[in-house]
Amino acid sequence: MHQVDRRTPTRPPSPSQRSRRQPQDSRDSGVATIWTAMAVAALSGVAVLGFWLGAAVVARHRAESAADLGALAAASHAAEGPVQACERARWVADRMRVTLLACRWQRLDAFVEVQVPASGLGGMPALSARARAGPTGQPP
């Protein structure tokens, strides 16, 4: 037989007591929000790193292209003399929005060095590139 303990009344909880009750397993409430916030932060960090790396690669390619074109322009005007040829390299560098650091001649070869400011890449130094152009019939 089943005995009932008559010392404590068995009344249903009042509405105010029901609202104060916690769910059985309240240890994990809000965990999904924290995981979501961490995932968004991680993805944002990866996106910023990708943008920064992509901008650095584009700036480096721009510097290399400007150096190559400047050296070719100087070599193509070699018959006019080194001063005129280097002016042509400067003209190319100005049009490509880079800074011509050096233009020098060694025999018939033009050596050009340019620098590209690392715009949009906070804390990164300016990127530079060098190129050489000259007659094709002679070994380097």
What is the per-residue pLDDT across 95-111, written as a single tens digit (0 to 9) for each?
999 999 999 988 888 99
* Per-range mean pLDDT, top range of 52-61, 66-75, 112-121: 66-75
Mean pLDDT throughout 47-53?
A: 89
What is the C-alpha to C-alpha distance for residues 140 and 136, in angstroms, rounded to an integer? 9
* pTM flag (> 0.95): no
What is the C-alpha to C-alpha distance for residues 112 and 18, in angstroms, rounded to an integer? 81
Distance of CA 35 to the CA centre of its chain: 26
CB 137 within 8 A of CB 97: no
What does the domain layout of the chain look like in residue ranges? 32-133
Query: How many other CB atoms are found less than 10 A from the CB of residue 126?
Result: 15
Query: What DSSP string describes 105-134?
Result: EETTEEEEEEEE--TT-TTPPPEEEEEEE-
What is the C-alpha to C-alpha distance for residues 71 and 73, in angstroms, rounded to an integer? 5
